[in-house]
Amino acid sequence: MTRPLILVTLLGLGLAGCGQSGSSEAAPAAPARPEATAAEKAILLAALPSPYNTADLDNGRRAFARCRSCHTIAEGGPNMTGPNLWGIFGRTAGSHADYNYTTALKTAGFTWDADRLDHWLQNPRSFLPGNKMTFPGLADATDRRDVIAWLKVETGYVPAAPATPVP
Ligand code: HEC
């Protein structure tokens, strides 16, 4: 009857020998991406395709006040009534992990870009019938331009590399 106990004890001893961890290699956890400076944001803005390169980021931030009750934008931010929007540009519609989308959005089958977002924000209901974003839309085209540019700057969008690198 004592044999299993001995086995367990031996196993335990064996495992204990592996417990030594090289604490010297423990690098400090990489901080979340530092907030871009105003100058960096201006460079990102200027690199956007027209008409977004002439957008007013302050107005975009103000327009996003209408989205904040339902959406966070920070990297790793929580889903609320709507999904977190970090990395939204280039993301497949309805694909944020752990968010319970409607079938309409899950099966939309496109990738978010400025043009899709412009149509979505103009009238979410008619752009994709059956979705559950109960938002009447941003009627003003300038507000849409500005909020899209602001989202590009704030949600980690990386512009495609230029075709011919500058020497
Ligand atoms: C009342 C809450 C609410 C407001 C306000 C709101 N949204 Fe949403 N949003 C949602 C919900 C809910 C969904 C998910 C819809 C679904 O699954 O059908 C969503 C989905 C989205 C998506 C698609 C995300 C994905 O992962 O495919 C985008 C983009 C978006 N919203 C942007 C915005 C922007 C920008 C604004 C402000 C101009 C805004 N939303 C305002 C609730 C809201």
Per-residue pLDDT tens digits for 46-91: 999 999 999 999 999 999 999 999 999 999 999 999 999 999 999 9
Q: Ligand 1 pocket check: which of 61, 62, 64, 70 to mutate, most ligand atoms within 8 Å of Cβ?
A: 70
What type of residue is 132? K
Which atom, in ligand 1's list, is nearest to the CA of 137? 38
Higher pLDDT, 12 or 118: 118
Q: Provide, rounded to the nearest whole percent, the portion of the chain with pLDDT above 70.
A: 77
pLDDT confidence of residue 156? 92
d(CA 161, CA 167): 14
Using CA atoms in the order 148, 150, 155, 159, what is the torsion angle rounded to 10 degrees? 80
Identify the pLDDT of residue 121: 98
Residue of 71, 106, 120 to test ligand 1 pocket, by largest number of atoms within 8 Å of CB: 71
How far away, in angstroms, is 83 Cα from ligand 1 center?
7
Question: Residue 159 has which token pair?
Answer: 């512009």
Q: Whose CA is nearest to atom 5 of ligand 1?
A: 67
pLDDT score for 17: 41
- Contacts of residue 97, defined as CB under 8 A and 6 or more positions apart, other chains included, come to none
73 is written with which tokens? 């934008």
Residues 6+ away with beta carbon under 8 Å from 76: 32, 84, 86
pLDDT band for position 167 (cuts 50, 70, 90): low
